[in-house]
Amino acid sequence: MKNPADFPENSLISLIIALSVAFACAVLTALIAFLPQTRANAAYQSDLSRHNTLTTTGDPTRRSIFTADGNKITARGFYGNDRVSAFEIITNLKSSSLEFKPFPDGTYTAVFEGAPIVSQTYAYIRLVMESGDVYNYRVEYNQGWFFGDNGLPEKNEDIVENHTDMGAFISSLYLVNEDGAARDAEETLFRVKTLTDEVTAGLDGEYDKARAITGWVADNIYYDNDARENDVSLDTIAINRVLDVRRTTCAGYANLTAAMLESAGIKAVTVIGSALSLSEYDVLLTISRHHEWTAFWYGEENRWVMLDSGWDSGNNYKNGRYTQKSSPRKYFDISPLAFSQNHRAEKAEYREYFSVPLYFASIEGTTETSNRTASASEPPASEPPVSEPPVSESPVSEPPASEPPASEPPVSEPPASEPPVSEPPASEPLVSEPPVSEPPVSEYNNPNAPNGDLPLYIALAALSAGVIITGTVLLVKVRNRS
């Protein structure tokens, strides 16, 4: 029997080479799996400023404050009568701990500690409310949790601050439909003024009035999926038609909200830009998806307040049917940092709705105008009531998506006699945000989902297999030579 010490030198070299090849294959597998993802993540995260704190809104009656410190996230908040029933971190986690405490006075606290798997660079902080509403906020991870600043908080505010005055002619296009005239404009503004006075009755401050107006629009106007899927025109988003049929798309929500704010003596602008889901945050700066919302000037605090009554509306109109659902309040006075997670402003317009009647009177060769917009006296007999929304036959479950520009042909108007559905099935999704803004179950926290560390396991398995195979081959050779 040969002594192993006499084993030929070239066989030792072969062993070293085989082990090196196995190790190189394992490393290459890991690099192929991880480098593209790492580079993609670094591409957008490298441009983000890091914030340790996110305050969700400027509304002291409904907000949360999140703080990130290393692998720990703490939260506290209060939402009035709609309490937080669950606090979650939605992502693939290596290991974590979470302590959530709701208190009898409606406040809550939460402490989370954990880190995501190697390939996951963000998570969602999810608040589940007793009403069933769900609020999601994105948090980034790169050697610790942080809230990303992509530059949009400041840019969005700058665009609103430097808004364009559109004048009476352009404003008229959003006030009355194509057949509108001086009397139609006056009657529409009278309806807006009367409605605003009813909604804000008993309220003194601008902020409280703005909150009430936003809530009324979100609760009583329905997102028109039929128009969005077929044709969105100026007629679809004209304020007089929105009040008539109680449905529109995002631009109509923004127009009516701005007109009611103006009627309450609060300067408001319509903001045009793009809105994407939270999962598309990394491309928010480069992808356009048409959306419109509103901002108003809050003089008491010397700042512009962002709001999106369309995304705060749970109501839906689909296939000729109205479906009513609770409306969350995530987007009233949402903080600039939170708003920048899915909204990008491109321009802002101040539309002079209350100068439209005078404009129409001038082009019609008459100076006869009405002061009805300044008082709540009796409306014209021909005016349809503003207190009774169109009604529906059965509920629908499909939510709205981003809307195309408002320059396409008009959509036909259904009969005004459709009945409302006040209680849709509990399984119906909210219309306030496109579903893609909520992370799908298959992506996070799903035990059947692909493991993000799988490439690492493959690499280790390849290395182990290479060592085992090489050792086995050499052992066979040694025995054959013995």
Pick from 46, 304, 54: which is nearest to 156 by CA? Answer: 304
Residue-wise pLDDT for 359-395, tens only, equals 888 876 544 444 434 433 333 333 333 334 444 333 3
pLDDT value for 18: 63
Around Cβ 143, how many Cβ atoms within 10 Å? 8
The full set of domain ranges for the chain reads 8-46+457-481, 49-149, 153-437
In which residue ranges of the chain is pLDDT below 50?
2, 4-5, 7, 34-42, 366-455
Nearest alpha carbon to residue 91 among 141, 153, 133: 141
Q: Give pLDDT, residue 95.
A: 78
- Please give the Cα distance from 473 to 462 (Å, whole number): 16
Instruction: Give the pairing of strands 222-224 and 247-248.
Output: parallel
> What whole-number distance in Å separates Cα of residue 69 and Cα of residue 14?
51
Q: Looking at the DSSP assignment, which residues form a beta bridge with residue 147?
A: 51
Among 255, 260, 227, 258, which residue's Cα sits nearest to residue 242?
Answer: 255
Q: Which residues contact 371 (CB under 8 A, 6 or more apart)?
A: none
CATH class entry, domain 49-149? mainly beta
Nearest to 184 by CA among 361, 412, 352: 361
Query: pLDDT value at position 244?
Result: 95
Per-residue b or e along 412-431, where b marks 16 or more CB atoms closer than 10 Å to that residue's CB: eeeeeebebbeebeeebbbb
In this prediction, residue 240 carries a pLDDT of 94
Long-range contacts of 442-450 (CB under 8 A, 24+ apart): 444/90, 444/91, 444/92, 444/123, 444/124, 445/90, 445/91, 445/92, 449/92
Tokens encoding 465: 């297999």
The count of other CB atoms within 10 Å of the CB of residue 457 is 11
Q: How far apart are CA 437 and CA 315, in angstroms?
A: 17
